Amino acid sequence: MKQLIGSLISAALLLILSTNFALAEQTGRIFVSNEKDDTISVIDGDSLKVEKTIEIGERPRGVGISPDGKELYVAVSEENKIRVVDTNTLEILRDFEAGSDPETFAVHPNGNVYVSNEDNAKASVFDPKTGAQIVEISVGLEPEGVAISPDGKRVIVTSESTNMLHVIRVPEHTIENNILVGSRPRAATFTKASNIAYATAEISGEVVKVNMDTAEILKKGSTGDSKSKPKDVLLSLDEKVIYVAGGRANAVKVMDADTLKIIKKIPVGKRVWGLAMTKDGSRLFTTDGVSGTVSVIDTGKNEVIKTIKVGSFPWGVVIND
Amino acid sequence: MLHKHKLLKSLCLMFITSLLLSANVKALEVRLLYVGPEDNSALKGVEQGIQEANLQGQFLNQKYLLENIDETTASQHQFGAYSAIFLNTKKELITKLATKLSDKAVFNLNSADDSLRYACIANLLHTIPSNKMKNDAVQQWKKKAPDSSAVAQAWHPDFLKFAARDLNKRYKKNFNVPMDDLAWSGWAAAKMTSDTVARLKSADPSKLLTFFKTELAFDGQKGINMNFRQTGQLRQPMLLIEDGKIVAEAPVRGVANPPTLDSLGIINCEK
What's the total number of domains in chain B? 1
C-alpha distances out from residue A148 to A101, A123, A225, B252, Å: 20, 13, 30, 41
Q: Number of residue pairs across A and B with CB atoms under 8 Å?
A: 58
Does B176 map to a domain? yes
Does B12 map to a domain? no
Per residue in A280-312, pLDDT (tens digit) is 999 999 999 999 999 999 999 999 999 999 999
Average pLDDT of span A165-189: 96
Q: Given this model, what pLDDT does residue B4 score?
A: 53
- Say whether A140 and B199 touch across the interface (CB within 8 A): no
Of B166, B195, B224, the CB nearest to A142: B166
Of B56, B163, B224, the CB nearest to A140: B56
Domain holding B61, by residue range, is: 27-263
Q: Is the pLDDT of residue B41 over 70?
A: yes
Q: Given this model, what pLDDT does residue A225 score?
A: 75
Q: Is the pLDDT of residue A47 over 50?
A: yes
Q: Is the pLDDT of residue A7 over 80?
A: no
Nearest C-alpha neighbor of B195 from the set A283, A159, A122: A159
Q: Given this model, what pLDDT does residue A12 score?
A: 52
B249 in reach of chain A (CB within 8 A): no
Q: State the complex-level ipTM.
A: 0.81
Q: Given this model, what pLDDT does residue A75 score?
A: 97
Q: Given this model, what pLDDT does residue A22 score?
A: 47
Q: Is the pLDDT of residue B17 over 80?
A: no
Of B55, B195, B223, the CB nearest to A121: B55
Give B19's pLDDT tier (boundaries 50, 70, 90): very low
Taking phi over 0 as left and psi of -120 to 50 as alpha, with beta for the rest, B254 belongs to left
Give B141's pLDDT tier (boundaries 50, 70, 90): very high
What is d(CA A114, CA A13) in angstroms, rounded to the nearest whole number?
37
Q: Given this model, what pLDDT does residue A8 score?
A: 56
Average pLDDT of span A15-30: 64
**Residue B67 DSSP code:** E
From B171's Cα to the closest Cα of chain A, the distance in A is: 11
Per residue in A204-233, pLDDT (tens digit) is 899 999 999 999 999 999 998 777 789 999
What is d(CA B65, CA B57) in angstroms, rounded to the nearest whole number?
11
Residue A19 vs residue A209, higher pLDDT: A209
Q: Which of A137, A165, A181, A203 to mutate to test the interface with B (most CBs of B within 10 A)?
A: A203
Q: Given this model, what pLDDT does residue A6 score?
A: 58
- Say whether B225 and A121 touch across the interface (CB within 8 A): no
Average pLDDT of span A238-248: 97
- Say whether A164 and B55 touch across the interface (CB within 8 A): no
Q: Is the pLDDT of residue A241 over 50?
A: yes
Average pLDDT of span A251-280: 97
Task: Identify all chain A residues contacting B217, using CB atoms and an 8 Å cutoff.
Answer: 182-183, 203-204
From A183's Cα to the closest Cα of chain B, the distance in A is: 6
Average pLDDT of span A158-182: 96
Does B10 map to a domain? no
Task: Identify all chain A residues contacting B57, using CB atoms and an 8 Å cutoff.
Answer: none
Per residue in A59-94, pLDDT (tens digit) is 999 999 999 999 999 999 999 999 999 999 999 999
- Say whether B217 and A183 touch across the interface (CB within 8 A): yes
Percent of chain A with pLDDT over 70: 92
Q: Given this model, what pLDDT does residue B23 score?
A: 47
Q: Is the pLDDT of residue A19 over 50?
A: no
B225 in reach of chain A (CB within 8 A): yes
Q: Given this model, what pLDDT does residue B162 score?
A: 86
Does B165 map to a domain? yes
* Maximum CA extent, chain B: 86
**Residue B193 DSSP code:** H
- What lies within 8 Å, CB to CB, of B198 at 6+ separation is A163, A180, B56, B60, B62
A122 in reach of chain B (CB within 8 A): no
Of A118, A182, A229, the CB nearest to B166: A118
Mean pLDDT for chain A overall: 93
CA contacts within 13 A on the Cβ side of A141:
24
Contact assessment for residue B117 and residue B233, using Cβ atoms and an 8 Å cutoff: yes
Nearest C-alpha neighbor of A56 from the set A70, A72, A67, A40: A40
A166 in reach of chain B (CB within 8 A): yes
Radius of gyration of chain A (CA): 19
Helix (H, G, I), strand (E, B) or coil at B222: coil
Which chain A residue's Cα is nearest to B166?
A: A119
Q: Given this model, what pLDDT does residue A5 score?
A: 61
Of A119, A140, A229, the CB nearest to B55: A140
Residue B21 vs residue A33, higher pLDDT: A33
Average pLDDT of span A116-140: 96
Q: Tell whether the torsion through CA atoms of A139, A140, A142 and A146 is positive or negative.
A: negative
Which chain A residue's Cα is nearest to B173?
A: A119
**CATH code where residue B62 lies:** 3.40.50.2300
Q: Is the pLDDT of residue B95 over 50?
A: yes
Average pLDDT of span B203-230: 96
From B230's Cα to the closest Cα of chain A, the distance in A is: 21
Task: Identify all chain B residues contacting A163, using CB atoms and an 8 Å cutoff.
Answer: 56, 195, 198, 219
Element (H, E) at B194: helix B181-200
A141 in reach of chain B (CB within 8 A): yes
Written in H, E and C, the secondary structure of chain A is CHHHHHHHHHHHHHHHHHHHHHHHHCCCCEEEEECCCCEEEEECCCCCCEEEEEECCCCEEEEEECCCCCEEEEEEHHHCEEEEEECCCCCEEEEEECCCCEEEEEECCCCCEEEEEHHHCEEEEEECCCCEEEEEEECCCCEEEEEECCCCCEEEEEECCCCEEEEEECCCCCEEEEEECCCCEEEEEECCCCCEEEEEECCCCEEEEEECCCCEEEEEEECCCCCECCCCEEECCCCCEEEEECECCCEEEEEECCCCCEEEEEECCCCEEEEEECCCCCEEEEEECCCCEEEEEECCCCEEEEEEECCCCEEEEEECC
Does B219 map to a domain? yes
Q: Is the pLDDT of residue B63 over 60?
A: yes
Average pLDDT of span A257-262: 97
What is d(CA A220, CA A179) in angstroms, rounded to the nearest whole number?
13
Which value, to the nearest 10 degrees, does the dihedral of the CA atoms of residues A116, A120, A121, A125 take?
Answer: -40
B166 in reach of chain A (CB within 8 A): yes
Of the candidate ranges A112-116, A131-135, A174-178, B11-15, the one whose mean pLDDT is the lowest = B11-15
Per residue in B233-260, pLDDT (tens digit) is 999 999 999 999 999 999 999 999 999 9
B54 in reach of chain A (CB within 8 A): no
Does B16 map to a domain? no
- Say whether A119 and B170 touch across the interface (CB within 8 A): yes
- Say whether A180 and B199 touch across the interface (CB within 8 A): yes
Q: Which of residues 175-194 of A touch B (CB under 8 A)?
A: 175, 178, 180, 182-184
Give B270's pLDDT tier (boundaries 50, 70, 90): confident
Mean pLDDT for chain B overall: 92
Residue B179 vs residue B24, higher pLDDT: B179
What is d(CA A306, CA A236) in angstroms, rounded to the nearest whole number?
19
Q: Given this model, what pLDDT does residue B22 score?
A: 47
